[in-house]
Homo-oligomer: A and B are copies of this chain.
Amino acid sequence: MPMRCKRCRGKVVIEVRRHNAAFCRDCFVHYVRQQVSRAIAKHRMLAPTDRVLVAVSGGKDSLGLWDLLLDLGYQADGLYLGLGIGGYSDRSKDLSQAFADARGAKLVVHDLESEQGYTIPEAAGAGRLKRASPGGRSSCAVCGLSKRYLFNRVALEGGYDVVATGHNLDDEAAVLFANTLRWDTASMARQFPVLEATRPGLVKKVKPLYRVAERESAAYCVLKGIDYVVEECPLVGGNTQMRHKETLNQMEEASPGTKHNFLFGYVDRAAALLRAADVAELAECSRCGMVTQAPDDPAEAPVCAFCRTRARLVGEASSGGRTLPVVSGRAGP
């Protein structure tokens, strides 16, 4: 490890091998903030007057991101979504609330079980029972689907301009890696640090941490004294993304910068080419009114993946075409 901070020649606390750099405490915080500022500027993620909703899980990435956005002067509220994963969810919520209180920031809280009638562990059970059924999804898939849907919907109903999520460089590289191994070109085409609100009903999504590695995000929280949930989600163990992260870590070890070059090369050179593959036609879900893919058969009423999955999980009560509004945890702007 180099002996001196790259920026001020002070005492080093962390090395960043892919940049061939090492930093002292203060300069590392400066470096992370700079990476986030650069991401925001390069992709025009946020305007100074934007009302930002940060999707907060209680982990290092989302709490670190919220902290960074507040420090950079953005109007950023947090959104915590209760997933019903026992003690893990309880601790996640408590730490999110503690951070909000300490910073005098607003945390919007929603809850899958009381508002939508299911929890992620129930979805996991249903996934096991109905693995072979069409439309059956793994618990990670139901969790991702629920979060994407509700982040957008809560932001829309709360009048927010942007949803910010804490996806870091390692997350983004692993998802891109998984999609690339299958050449799932439609998913690849939609993976980008910013997704604009291309039509009413969609809120802009941004990933300001995409230039910050996982260990850097953890180090940031430690150095800033942010208390976060260290444990992994108990349902995630051994999933494909974790396997891909291990593979990428091995390659990174052999050749520092592998993940950075893979992700940034995609963002800079390939994403625009892949976007030609994203030909999905959009429509309004006939049950909830949110944006969804139009069905192949134009005579069929569009039903979004969230409504379909929810109907499968909570039974007939919600499969009759009724709109089940999300209970808003806060007043409008």
Which residues of B sit under 8 angstroms from A181, Cβ to Cβ? 251, 258, 261-262, 265
> Which of B185, B247, B270, B276 interacts with A185 by CB under 8 Å?
B270
Which residues of B sit under 8 angstroms from A274, Cβ to Cβ? 270, 273
CA–CA, A209 and B261, complex, Å: 30
- A180 closest partner in B (C-beta): B180
- A258 closest partner in B (C-beta): B181
Q: Is the Cβ of B247 less than 8 Å from the Cβ of A251?
A: yes
Which residues of B sit under 8 angstroms from A268, Cβ to Cβ? 183
A-B contact pairs, 11 of them (CB 8 A): A181-B251, A182-B261, A182-B262, A183-B261, A183-B265, A183-B266, A183-B269, A269-B277, A273-B274, A273-B276, A276-B276
A114 in contact (CB, < 8 A): no
Which residues of B sit under 8 angstroms from A254, Cβ to Cβ? 243
For chain A residues 25-70, which have a beta carbon within 8 Å of chain B? none
A328 in contact (CB, < 8 A): no
Contact with B along A178-192 (1 / 0, CB 8 A): 001111110000000
Q: Which residues of A contact B (CB under 8 A)?
A: 180-185, 243, 247, 250-251, 254, 258, 261-262, 265-266, 268-270, 273-274, 276-277
- Within the complex, the shortest CB–CB distance from A319 to chain B, in Å, comes to 34
Q: Is the Cβ of A273 less than 8 Å from the Cβ of B185?
A: yes
Residue of A258, A269, A276, A277 most packed against chain B (CB within 10 A) = A269
Which residues of B sit under 8 angstroms from A185, Cβ to Cβ? 269-270, 273
CA–CA, A180 and B173, complex, Å: 12
Q: Is the Cβ of A183 less than 8 Å from the Cβ of B276?
A: no
Which residues of B sit under 8 angstroms from A262, Cβ to Cβ? 180-183
